[in-house]
Structure 1
Amino acid sequence: MKIFLTTMCFLFLVTSFSSLADVLAKADLVIVYKSKATLELIKKGKVIKSYHIAMGDYPKNHKIKEGDERTPQGRYILDYKKSDSDFYRAIHISYPNDADILAANALNVSPGGQIMIHGQSPNSTISPREQQRYNWTNGCIAVTNSEMDEIWQLVDTGTPIELWP
Structure 2
Amino acid sequence: MWVRIERGAVAETIFAPRQISVGEINYPSNIFELWSEAELAALGIVPLVYEPELPEGNYAVASESAPVYNAANNRAVITRTYEAVPEPVPPSVLKLPFVRALRQKGFEVAFWAALEEDATAKLDFSLANEIDRSDPKIPQFAAAIGASDADVDEVFRLAATL
When normalised by structure 2's length, the TM-score is: 0.22
Give 1 or 2 for the bigger CA radius of gyration: 2
Higher relative contact order (CA 8 A, sep 6+): 1
Q: TM-score, normalised by structure 1?
A: 0.22
Larger relative helix fraction: 2
